[in-house]
Structure 1
Amino acid sequence: MSGTNGFPGTWKPNTGSSVPLFEQLRLNIIERADSGTLAAGTRLPAVRSLATELGLAPHTVARAYKELEAAGVVATRGRHGTIVCARDEAWSSLTAAAAEFATAAKAQGASFAEAVQLLAAAYDAE
């Protein structure tokens, strides 16, 4: 059974990926928030509930939620749960730029780690 408002649906983390499980979940929620699939005000499942549904440790989900909250993607309201926050257009353009970078990096044969190193170098150069 999927959590509140159908989240996470059929999505499951890829345990064979080099991307950490918390990061996969974090990125999935960001993508859904940016696309409108998770509208502002949508309540996400409780940490333990989502962890059970996805076959993850509760601290993995908690870390993803904590990082999402630090980035302003979600807000935790205590007993009222974790709610998706409204996103502005700047995030949408940043997401599009990241997608273009990822596509270009993959096309050039860069691994995820190499792409992250390139991004970190560019970020530090600014």
Structure 2
Amino acid sequence: MRIDQDSDVPPYEQVRLHFAQAIAARELPVGAKLPTVRALAADLGLAVNTVARAYRELEEAGLVETRGRAGTVVSAAGDRGRERVVRAARAYAATATEVGLTADEALEIIRAALMV
């Protein structure tokens, strides 16, 4: 992972996004242990609080869980969340088809919704 100091995206968000994408892509499987906050902060040249904020937001989203001294690991809840999104996407696709939207129109609606 690399932090782009020139990016408009704050460093904590870059960290959060990196892990969220890796979890979504299943590059980090359920139970995978994340580096400690202090170790990752040192590796990336960031403040401990910056990495802690990213981890806190990942935990609030249900993607990871902190197990005290055992550290922070990828949560099974994140996998279930992905399954919920897949089910919702299938339902949306069925509705979009039913009302006669083209694939491009349906995708444009999703893109707009994600920008909120």
- Partners of 1:68 and 1:74 within 8 A in 2: yes
The alignment of Structure 1 onto Structure 2 pairs a total of residues equal to 90
- 1:69 aligns with 59
Where does the alignment leave 5 or more consecutive residues of structure 1 unmatched? 1-10, 102-114, 121-126
The 1-side partners of 2:68 and 2:49 are apart by 17
- 2:115 aligns with 119
Trace 1:1-126 onto structure 2 (pairs within 5 A). Answer: 11-86=1-76, 87=79, 88-91=82-85, 101=111, 119-120=115-116
Displacement of 1:91: 4.5
Displacement of 1:29: 0.3
SS across alignment from 1:36 = coil
Percent pairwise identity = 47
The 2-side partners of 1:82 and 1:22 are apart by 16
Superimposed CA distance per residue, residues 31-66 of structure 1 (whole angstroms, 9 cap, x where no aligned partner): 000111111100101100000011111000000000
Of structures 1 and 2, the larger Rg is shown by 2
CA RMSD, Structure 1 to Structure 2 (Å): 2.1
Where does the alignment leave 5 or more consecutive residues of structure 2 unmatched? 90-106
Q: Give the TM-score of the pair, scaled to structure 1.
A: 0.65
- Partners of 1:73 and 1:85 within 8 A in 2: yes
Q: Give the TM-score of the pair, scaled to structure 2.
A: 0.70
